[in-house]
Amino acid sequence: MTTAIPLTGIFPVAPTPFKANGDLDLPGKRRVMDCMVDQGVDGICVLANYSEQFAVTDAERDQLVEASIDQVGGRVPVIVTCSHYATAIAAERGRKAAASGAAMLMLMPPYHGNGLRADENLMVEHFARIADAAKLPIMVQDAPLSGVALSVPFLVRLAKEVPLVRYFKVEVPQAAAKLRALIAAGGDAIEGPWDGEEAITLMADLDAGATGTMTSALLPDLIKPIVTAHLAGDRKTAAALYAKCLPLINYENRQCGLRAAKTVMMAGGVIDSDHVRHPFEPLHPATKAGLLEIAETLQPLALRWGK
């Protein structure tokens, strides 16, 4: 099973709001999803690393998936991240996501800490079992966080041996070169070569052939026109729009990380708190002020939605 029409465009990661005391804020999560739909996104990813998936319990995961998909109500596709080192657990997460109405799964390769890795044959089997359980298209997240080197020949092998593995979010150094090589080597098996990492390398990745991007929820309404223009062949417009957004993209990527979207959404009345669970620390007041200063000049919807 594959998607009839390849998914393209912008599919940002939804942050997970917590109350100031650290409890899960499900009403806030529903507002986040509504805000993101209003941002004009082509789809939404939940429970990714920028959703603090590693800081929520299994029971909270189930609540977040159900609330997110229910709130979106079919307005846009929802991708659910199901990464886990244990194949059986990742497969069960995928099965639950499919039953809840997910359109796609996103997975990192199996890893744990600095030393537990699977060899390539076991990684193929890992993805194959998850695909069999969920029967949904799968996006491989190729990011340094896992510490797993995923070569282009291996990714092509994975796509050909596990046909539901069709999408590849590339976030490694020199991402554009890897995307270009992946597209050349994989051909039709590479249905969705995507950019990530908050769009910090977006123009180079689009030039290399990326057809989608997974940013944060900070400014997708401003990034989408870049992607739309580039995919339509208007690189000049895309480059000009990207130049305007780049200071905020850079500040998020280099100074704030996953805290940026929550901070701006709190300032914009989307959520009540930008709390991050320990051992994350809140943004330093000076860093927060710098972020909001740049955001004010661009006025992304997240800064205005709840006002």
179-209 exposure pattern, b = at least 16 Cβ within 10 A, e = fewer: bbbbbeebeebbbbbbbbbbbbbbbbbbebe
Contact of 208 with 216, CB cutoff 8 Å: no
Q: Where are the beta strands (DSSP E) in the chain?
A: 9-10, 44-46, 78-81, 104-107, 111-112, 116-117, 138-142, 165-170, 192-195, 212-213
The answer to whether 94 and 118 are in contact (CB under 8 A) is no
At 235, which amino acid appears? R
Distance between CA 159 and CA 124 in Å, rounded? 9
Please check whether residue 103 is in contact with residue 76, taking contact to mean a CB–CB distance below 8 angstroms: no
Helix (H, G, I), strand (E, B), or coil: what is residue 105? Answer: strand
Q: How many residues belong to the chain?
A: 307
In the residue annotation, 244 being an active-site residue is answered as: no
Answer yes or no: are the C-beta atoms of 80 and 105 closer than 8 Å. yes
Helix (H) or strand (E) holding 86: none
Task: Spot the catalytic one: 19, 29, 160, 169.
Answer: 169
* Spatial distance between the Cα atoms of 166 and 188, rounded to a whole number of angstroms: 9
Active site residue ranges: 169
